[in-house]
Amino acid sequence: MKFLSAGKSDKGVSRQNNEDNFCVDEDLRLFIVADGMGGAAAGEVASRMAVEIIRDYIKRSSALGGAGNEPFVGGYDKKFSEASNRIASGIRLANQAIYEASQSNVKWRGMGTTVAAALLDGSKMSIAHAGDSRIYLIRTSSIIQLTDDHSIVSEQVKSGLLTKEEAEGSEVRNIITRALGTTLSMDIDIDEIDLMDGDRVVLCSDGLTTMVSDNVILSTVAASDEPGSACGALIDIANKNGGKDNITVALVYLFEDRTFLKKIKNLFR
């Protein structure tokens, strides 16, 4: 499967700093969005550490960077492929490093970051995440959220205490229940997707999803056959809708034949 990819981050309209970070590495076929939190500049440190440590780990364990015999971190889950175990290992390694950094420097105490990561291996995509950054799959004319937010409201929706609409208006909407850097070991959600010709994968921070509905994400991504311009268009819409938080988007367009992308675009004209 061939692909086109792009990523973009913007601090939004009302924040002074951008605490999000991302990685779009076409050689490694690795895509990451991380949304940092913590006082002063600590959130930015945590999200940057996450992106750099995961990327370095994947590079060292790939044919491109090292011999591929890098040890797995936190064990090997046989239910999943080697690629999925690699991405989970990279996230666990980043978690440990951010936790240790936050314990060793008082400026960084309490810092943490979400992570949403995807590693492409042929027509399979391994995804892993912690926190409320999301990964969506856009297939033909539907959008499917592949990740479950690790947040208080998401858990309340799952247990039937809140409706999805009530959750969107909740004051505690931003409080997440899982973040890298807050405990020495953590659970990582892992999933594997079989991709099809024309699929599009969206990774994003909550600065996009709190400002732009899933349907608008779908129509905006589907209307462009160029992922870089679609990233820019999504950020523009988030800012027009208020831009209350940092906004980060990474897009991967899968295809066997480039003309297929144009055909999909024409459907949405």
Please give the residue ranges that form the binding site for Ca ion (CB under 5 A). 35, 205-207, 245
CA distance linking residue 88 with residue 240, whole number of Å: 35
Annotate 91-141 with DSSP letters as a single string. Answer: HHHHHHHHHHHHHH-GGGTT-EE-EEEEEEETTEEEEEEESS-EEEEEETT
Count of CA atoms in the C-beta half-sphere (13 A) of 253:
25
For Ca ion, the closer of residues 28 and 37 by Cβ is 37
In the complex, the smallest distance separating the C-beta of residue 105 from Ca ion, rounded to whole angstroms, is 23
Considering the complex, state which of residue 44 and residue 206 has its C-beta at the smaller distance from Ca ion: 206
User: In the complex, what is the shortest distance from the CB of residue 37 to Ca ion, in angstroms, rounded to a whole number?
Assistant: 7
Nearer to Ca ion (CB atom), residue 7 or residue 207: 207
Q: Is 214 left (phi over 0), alpha (psi -120 to 50) or beta?
A: alpha
Least distance from C-beta 224 to Ca ion, angstroms? 24
Name which of 199 and 245 has its Cβ closer to Ca ion. 245
Closest distance to Ca ion from the beta carbon of 164 (Å) = 19
Between 44 and 225, CB nearer to Ca ion: 44
Instruction: Return the structure tokens found at 136.
Output: 């969506």
* Shortest Å, Cβ 110 to Ca ion: 16
In contact, 124 and 86? CB cutoff 8 Å:
no
Q: Which is nearer to Ca ion, 205 or 239 (CB)?
A: 205
- Show Cβ contacts of residue 165 under 8 Å, excluding neighbours closer than 6 positions: none
CA distance 55 to 87: 9
CB of 109 to Ca ion, least distance (A): 20
Q: What amino acid is encoded at 173 in this protein?
A: R
